[in-house]
Amino acid sequence: MELYGDVRYLKGIGEARAKLLEKLDIRTVYDLISYFPRAYEDRSVIRDLAEIAEGETACVRAAVISTPLLSRIRKGLNLTRFRIADDSGSAEVTFFNQPYLKNQLHVGSRYSFYGRFQRFGNKLSLQNPTFEPADGEGKTTGRIVPVYRLTSGISQNTLIKSIRQGLDSCLEELRDLLPAETIRRYDLPDIRRAYRSIHMPADMAEAMRARQRLVFEELFVLACALGSMKNQRRSEAGHVIPAPALEEFTGRLPFELTGAQSRAIRDSLADMASGSAMNRLVQGDVGSGKTMVAAACIWAVCRAGFQAAFMAPTELLADQHFRTFSTLLEPMGIRVVQLKSSMTAKAKREAVERLALGEADLAVGTHALLSEGVEFPRLALAVTDEQHRFGVGQRSALAAKTSAPHILVMSATPIPRTLALILYGDLDVSVIDELPPGRQKVDTYAVEESMRPRIQRFIARLVDEGRQVYVVCPMIEEDEEGTLDLRSAAEVYEQLRTEVFPQYRLGLLHGRMKTAEKEAVMASFVSGEIQILVSTTVVEVGVDVPNAALMVVENADRFGLSQLHQLRGRVGRGKHKSYCVLFKGKGGGVSAERLDALVKESDGFRISEEDLKLRGPGDFFGSRQHGLPTLHIADLAASLDVLKEAQAEAERLLAADPSLEKHPALRQRVESIFRNAETG
Ligand code: ADP
Ligand code: MG
């Protein structure tokens, strides 16, 4: 077997199981052994049958003392039953619908059994236990046993056994990606040791050490990847855009720029005038006015005779920005086109043609901008909005359209500085830490279900005053269990429309609607036609309706804290006093404590710091809010300290070996990260 060979050739896997494993993203033996346990069960203690209490889950070592009997109860249900005994006592074992076991368990032989026991008086019984011969090396009993996330058709035992087999045959081929010096400095186990320990630790401490080491390695590889991307782009020459006198631009704005906006613009213009390619992240809370920074850069680039591209994550946002830029920039002589998937083929062709001929200066759109055939002969600036929605790969894909355009990315995801260091390791950062003047704080309330009638009266009052209202419901995943108490956006909409607010105009917006439908609904909300918009989190990012004064969130416990902050940012964008009401729901996600943080705090960065304190960084990686390649193990166990250490080690290594020439295995992995990010 080879490490990167197909898993189907492992003993006991074959075609059928290989197909199922693919659902877990397991294709090669390497994938298989890199499928780490989500938890462990301690089956290391062997118990006496006589001591086991009702309801206990335990491991015993006992002999089969009666011939396994198969009985058919009814169609589709048969039982295999027999008795087992150790020195202390006995128990009855029952298996459901596994008739073949009758021939696998032999009277007089000893096995280890693991399962949940039931006891009625002195009658002890055990159903569907895991078992294996007592004399072999324990794989599933008598030790700490890994617990893997499963997919149907693949059992824990199958995974345990095939991973074991993969380790036995291929472990030697694993290469350490951490430099020897780093391993020494942090006293980490080597890679083979770590792989063995994480799957079959002798004790929990060993499992934790292995995990720490693998987390370290994953973050280290990521930091190397981002670091080398930064180095690479640093050394690229960029189009020189002479920095214009900013007054020419600001003179046309209906407002004064804030100090933070001016600073970010000056930084960016200086980058673009420098001769090397700009790589800048503009990070600012929702409503802080990031769009103006982009507008100023676009203006500078276009007036110098170059083209710019502006990419937004959703069609809704692309539309909104198209309107903003057309209104602002067309009068300055900048020709703006739109490009998104939902346009007619003809409209698309026209836009593409104008870009190719240099008859358009700015293209605003979605990832359709990345499509093949879209060419910008004079592209000098690529802007991505709400960049966390895009993968690192996509970010670089836009850049790859021509040689080294300047890159500006904007994000409202307030990421604590410590994490930003890793997540945006390849970018320079401008922080917009100041809101435009006159913004009012959004009054926020976390309320119980009993408050619903009052909230409904409040909604009615605001609508009667001419304001608009959002009602946001959590996304319900189809195969999720236990969601019965969660109301979908469609249900909430129906009920509000027919029973609660028949006198008002309501609209419904959710992710599964066709783009054209979504656009129509959003357009009627923007125009004020729709008074109450019931929606899923599609409205989360960037949508700007200044007349909206109330954000109601159903089952707020289902959202992340930063996500709730984003939602709240949809209101309070105009001159009207605005409110955010969070229905607490029945718990499960955000705790009461965390909702309180949101009620008290309106600064996105401080909220994210709070979130980090309460949840640890795992959630930031887990929530896919960062646009990085999926992390395998760091989601589960990363700690901030490890993050910082891994970053420091990566910097140290890149300083000594910028192109990773002396570390070919690491270099290969770094390259594969970006390949995967692009397809993913
Ligand atoms: P975000 O940072 O969330 O992308 P936007 O760029 O959409 O924020 O700006 C939010 C709103 O604030 C817009 O309506 C915009 O016109 C307005 N705005 C931006 N800058 C200023 C400013 N300096 N003074 C007043 N209003 C501003
Ligand atoms: Mg925005």
506-529 per-position pLDDT tens digit: 999 987 888 778 878 988 998 999
Q: CA nearest 280: which of 288, 291, 271, 292?
A: 271
Report the pLDDT value the prediction gives residue 583, as an integer from 0 to 100.
92
What gap in Å lies between CA 572 and CA 549, rounded to an integer? 6
Point out which residues pair with 570 in neighbouring strands.
Answer: none
Reported as a pLDDT band with limits 50, 70 and 90, residue 575 is confident
Decide if 386 contacts 312 (C-beta within 8 A).
yes
- With the most atoms of ligand 1 within 8 angstroms of its CB, the residue from 249, 544, 567, 568 to mutate is 544
Burial of 345 (0-12, 13-18, 19+ CB in 10 A): exposed
Phi and psi angles of residue 124, each rounded to the nearest 5 degrees, phi first: -110, 135
pLDDT in tens, 321-362: 999 999 999 999 999 999 988 889 999 999 999 999 999 999
306: its two tokens: 């170059």
Strand partners, 40: 146
Question: pLDDT at position 577, please?
Answer: 92
Question: For a pocket test of ligand 1, which of 246, 285, 288 has the largest count of ligand atoms closer than 8 A to its C-beta?
Answer: 288
Structure-block tokens of residue 97: 């619908």
Q: Which ligand is located closest to the Cα atom of residue 286?
A: 1
Q: How confident is the model at residue 619 (pLDDT cuts 50, 70, 90)?
A: very low
User: Which whole number is the average pLDDT over 545-549?
Assistant: 92
**Signed CA dihedral, 236, 240, 244, 249: sign only:** negative
Ligand that comes closest to the CA of residue 385: 2
**Cα(506)–Cα(531) distance, integer angstroms:** 6
Q: Whose CA is nearest to atom 13 of ligand 1?
A: 289
Beta strands of 366-422 (E only): which ranges?
379-384, 406-411
Residue 414 has pLDDT above 80, yes or no: no
CA–CA separation, 164 and 302 (whole Å): 60
Structure-model confidence comparison of residues 596 and 382, the more confident one = 382
pLDDT in tens, 133-152: 988 777 778 888 898 988 88
CA of 440 to the centre of ligand 1 (A): 13
Residue with tokens 């080690």: 649
CA atoms within 13 A on the CB side of 75: 0
Inter-helix orientation angle 664-679/392-399, to 10°: 90
Higher pLDDT, 373 or 232: 373
Locate 664 and state its tokens: 């070919």
Q: How far apart are CA 552 and CA 215, in angstroms?
A: 38
Phi then psi for 289, rounded to 5 degrees? 90, 40
Cα–Cα distances in Å, from 677 out to 393, 397, 633?
A: 5, 10, 17
Distance (Å) from CA 27 to ligand 2 centroid: 40
Check: CB of residue 126 under 8 Å from CB of residue 113.
Answer: yes
- Which of 170-174, 300-304, 307-311, 456-460 has the weakest average pLDDT? 170-174
- Of 360, 236, 366, 386, the closest CA to residue 308 belongs to 360
Q: Please state the rounded mean pLDDT for residues 365-390.
A: 82
Whose C-alpha lies nearest to ligand 1, atom 22? 436
Which residues have C-beta atoms less than 6 Å from ligand 1? Answer: 255-258, 261, 284, 286-292, 412, 436, 542, 544, 573
What value does the mean pLDDT take over residues 592-596? 76
pLDDT at 569 over 80: yes
Q: How far apart are CA 93 and CA 83, in angstroms?
A: 6
Is pLDDT at 319 greater than 80 in this prediction?
yes
Is 257 in contact with 250 (CB distance < 8 Å)?
yes
Q: What is the mean pLDDT of the chain?
A: 85
What is the per-residue pLDDT across 65-100, written as a single tens digit (0 to 9) for each?
999 999 998 988 999 999 999 999 999 999 999 999
The pLDDT score that the predictor gives to residue 394 is 53
pLDDT range class, residue 483, cuts 50, 70, 90: very low
- Are β-strands 336-339 and 110-120 bridged in parallel, bridged antiparallel, or unpaired? unpaired
Contact residues for 631 (Cβ-Cβ < 8 A; gap 6+)? 218, 219, 222, 621, 638
Q: Say what the pLDDT of residue 679 is.
A: 41
* Residue listed under structure tokens 């499960």: 588
Q: Which residues pair with 432 in a beta bridge?
A: 284
Spatial separation of the C-alpha atoms in residues 484 and 463, rounded to whole Å:
30
Q: Is the pLDDT of residue 233 over 70?
A: no
Tokens representing 253 are 């704005």
CA–CA separation, 248 and 241 (whole Å): 16
Whether the Cβ atoms of residue 299 and residue 241 lie closer than 8 Å to each other:
no
342 membership: H or E segment, kind and range: none
**Close Cβ partners of 417 (under 8 Å, ≥ 6 residues apart):** none
User: How much is the pLDDT for 621?
Assistant: 45
- Ligand 2 center to residue 435 CA distance, Å? 13
CA atoms within 13 A on the CB side of 453: 1
Residue 508, classed as helix, strand or coil, is strand
Q: How far is the C-alpha of 127 from the C-alpha of 114, rounded, in Å?
A: 10
Q: What is the pLDDT of residue 303?
A: 95
- What is the pTM assigned to this prediction? 0.63
Q: Inform me whether the pLDDT recorded for 116 exceeds 70.
A: yes
Q: pLDDT band at 374, cuts 50/70/90?
A: confident
* Band of residue 624 on the pLDDT scale cut at 50, 70, 90: very low
3-state secondary structure of 117: strand
Task: Indicate the top mutation candidate among 255, 285, 286 to test ligand 1's pocket, ranked by most ligand atoms within 8 A of CB.
Answer: 255
Cα–ligand 1 centroid distance for 286 (angstroms): 9
Q: Which of 36, 204, 224, 212 is nearest to 642 (CA)?
A: 212
Q: Residue 135: exposed, middle, or buried by beta-carbon count in 10 A (0-12, 13-18, 19+)?
A: exposed
Q: What type of residue sits at position 113?
A: F
Backbone angles phi, psi at 275, to 5 degrees: 100, -25
CA distance 24 to 544: 39
d(CA 110, CA 18): 33
Instruction: Report the pLDDT value the prediction gives residue 677, as an integer from 0 to 100.
Output: 47
Return the structure tokens found at 524.
């009627």
Give the percent of the chain with pLDDT over 90. 47
Please check whether residue 409 is in contact with residue 284, taking contact to mean a CB–CB distance below 8 angstroms: no
- Beta-bridge partner residues of 309: 363, 382
pLDDT value for 626:
42
Residue 367, classed as helix, strand or coil, is: helix
Q: What is the pLDDT of residue 578?
A: 95
Q: Going by C-beta distance under 8 Å and a sequence separation of 6 or more, which residues neighbour residue 653?
A: 179, 182, 224, 660, 663
| 8 Å CB contact between 487 and 494 | no
- State residue 479's pLDDT score: 42
Residue 33 clears pLDDT 60, i.e. is over it: yes
Say what the pLDDT of residue 627 is: 44
pLDDT in tens, 290-299: 999 999 999 9
Ordered structural domains, the chain, with CATH: 45-142 (2.40.50.140), 247-432 (3.40.50.300), 443-601 (3.40.50.300)
Nearest residue to 247 via CA among 205, 285, 287, 299: 299
The Cβ of residue 339 has, within 10 Å, a number of other Cβ atoms equal to 25
Q: How far is CA 433 from the centre of its chain?
A: 25
Q: Going by CA atoms, what residue is nearest to atom 19 of ligand 1?
A: 289
Burial state string for 587-596 with b = 16 or more CB within 10 A and e = fewer than 16: eeebeeebbe
User: Closest Cα partner for 139 from 161, 111, 108, 169?
Assistant: 161
Phi, psi of 209 (to 5 degrees): -60, -40
CB 265 within 8 A of CB 257: yes
Pocket mutation for ligand 1, best pick of 256, 292, 293, 526 (most atoms within 8 Å of C-beta): 292
Give the ligand whose atoms come closest to the C-alpha of residue 387.
2
What one-letter code names the amino acid at 86? D
Question: CA 387, 366, 302 angle in degrees (round to 5)?
Answer: 85
Q: Measured in angstroms, how far is the CA atom of residue 156 from the centroid of ligand 2? A: 46
CA–centroid distance for 579 within its chain: 28
* pLDDT category of residue 420 using cuts at 50, 70 and 90: low
- Ligand closest to Cα of 282 equals 1
Q: Atom 5 in ligand 1: which residue has the minimum CA distance? A: 289
Q: Is 476 helix (H, G, I), strand (E, B) or coil?
A: coil
| Cα–Cα distance measured from residue 589 to residue 672, given in angstroms and rounded to the nearest whole number | 34
